[in-house]
Amino acid sequence: MLKFDWERWRIIDLTLPIFPFHQDLVGFPKVTRWTHEEGARLNAIPAGINPPDFPEGKSQAWEEVVLSTHLGTHLDAPYHFYPTTGGKPAKTIDQVPLEWCMGDGVVLDLTYKGPREFITKEDIVSALKKINYKLKPRDIVLIRTDWDKKWGTREYFDDHPGMSAEAVHYILDQGVKTIGIDTFGFDRSFKAMGEDYRRTGDKNYLWPAHNVGKEREYVHYERLANLDKIPVPYGFIFIGAPFPILKASAGWTRAFAIVEK
């Protein structure tokens, strides 16, 4: 019989809550809330009763949320990157195997990266060398920048660093299928990419890390949090199952780590 040993293990939440900010953002969350008193009115109609019939005139509270699948902590499916992967139909989020969403976690410390900088292959190699770890197939690689500490500010959206295509290729070369990062997006910020493209006319500045998914099948988490709270760089379990929205390009995720006390 399987039994979780609460005396041995603890859980660290790696998820940002859904919260409306940056109203100029595409997919800005809209949350409509109904109080317990309003819930009594809503529930009374289909039940064929009057709202005061509920104890103290209160019933269940409700919320209605309208938002993009790419807000909050979420997993990007291969279909998000391109209609095909390596010439074959790309998986949507409901087709992503759950086996890709749980496994041995590895945290790489890239907190020294500055605003709008690329995270390079050399950065990944150096971070692995620092913790004396060799990636193995199906590891889940978590890129720690501590940019989640800026969550709720313009800087969080406008200035975060991001992955280079070479860094993604290197990680995938080790047999990894799943990567995560604690920034707003997997690539550098919208402003950084846009400014470099306008300056140079080079389209390779536009979502280079995402575009790896056109040729290689992988998934990545965006907007993770609290990677600094994981006490070890490896030797823990990561779990982040996305909501299986039919034919969607991403799914909201409750991600967490299971570590030894």
The predicted pLDDT at position 47 comes to 86
Q: How sure is the predictor about 35, in pLDDT bands with cuts at 50, 70 and 90? A: very high
Distance CA 259, CA 111 (A): 21
Does domain 74-260 match CATH 3.30.200.20? Answer: no
Computed over every residue of the chain, the mean pLDDT equals 94
Give SS3 for 166. helix
pLDDT in tens, 108-159: 999 999 999 999 999 999 999 999 999 999 999 999 999 999 998 889 999 9
The predicted pLDDT at position 21 comes to 58
Give domain limits for the chain. 30-66, 74-260
Task: Look up the pTM and report it.
Answer: 0.93
Q: Give the CA count within 13 Å in the CB-facing half-sphere of 183.
A: 27
Nearest-CA neighbor of 131 among 220, 230, 218? 230
Burial of 129 (0-12, 13-18, 19+ CB in 10 A): exposed
Q: How sure is the predictor about 12, in pLDDT bands with cuts at 50, 70 and 90? A: very high
Question: What is the distance of C-alpha 58 from the center of its chain?
Answer: 37
